[in-house]
Amino acid sequence: MAYTLNINGVRHTVDVDGETPLLWVLRDTLDLKGAKYGCGGGMCGACTVHINGSPARSCVLPVAGVVTAAITTIEAIGDTPVGKKVQEAWLAVDVAQCGYCQPGQIMAATALLTSKPKPTDAEIEAHMNGNICRCATYNRIRTAIKMAAGEIA
C-alpha cells in the first residue's frame, strides 16, 4: 500500500506493507542509512528518530502509524540549532569508537536538550539509558551532552 511520509521536511511516498517498521523504510526504501539496526525490539536505541520532536524507536514503529507525523532523522538533525550543537560537541569530545550507536545517541541527546537545556546528571542518565553503546563511550557521551548544554567548554 502507498504511504506518504513527511521525513526531514520532505514528502516521500512509499509502497510498502503498513506493518513495515519505519526503520526499514528509511534504510532500504528511502536509502537513509543513518538510523541503525541494533536489536529490532526497542531495546538499544540505535534506530532512534524523532517523531514530532520526541525520540522514538523506529524499529518498532509500523509505518502506517506515522503518516501524519513530522519525522526527523540523523541526516537532518544538524539543521536544528540543538542538533547542530550536539553534533559539534560529539566531534569536539571525539566520542565515537566504532560509531555505530552514535546516530541514535545524538538523536536521543538532541531530544533531551531540546526539552531540558540544562539537564542534571540524573536526568542525563535517565534519558540516555535506552541507548546502548557496545563500545561503552558513556564517559564521553556525558561530557558531550554537558558541552552541548554549554556547561563545559
Using CB under 6 A, list all residues that contact ligand FES.
37-40, 42-47, 57, 59, 96-102, 133-135, 137
| Contact pick of 6, 40, 70, 114 for other proteins (by CB under 8 A) | 40
- d(CA 76, CA 63) in angstroms, rounded, equals 19
- Min CB(130)–ligand FES separation in Å: 8
From ligand FES, other proteins, none, which one binds at residue 57 (CB under 5 to 8 Å depending on kind)?
Answer: ligand FES
CA distances to 13, 94, 122 from 103, rounded to whole Å, are 24, 14, 22
Q: How far apart are CA 97 and CA 79, in angstroms?
A: 24
Query: Does residue 100 touch other proteins according to CB under 8 A?
Result: yes
CB of 101 to other proteins, least distance (A): 5
Backbone angles phi, psi at 21, to 5 degrees: -65, 145
Minimum distance, C-beta of residue 131 to ligand FES, in the bound complex (Å): 8
* Shorter beta-carbon distance to other proteins: residue 99 or 114: 99
The window from 50-58, 64-72, 87-95, 111-119 that contacts other proteins (CB under 8 A) reads 87-95
On whether the CB atoms of residues 98 and 133 are closer than 8 A, the answer is: no
Pairing of strands 70-72, 48-51: antiparallel
135 φ/ψ angles, rounded to the nearest 5 degrees: -80, -5
Alpha helical stretches, state H, the chain: 22-24, 74-77, 81-93, 102-115, 121-128, 138-148
Nearer to ligand FES, 59 or 147 (CB): 59
Residues that bind other proteins (CB under 8 A): 16-17, 19-21, 24, 28-29, 31-41, 43-44, 46, 73-75, 78, 87, 90-91, 94, 96-103, 106, 124-126, 128-142
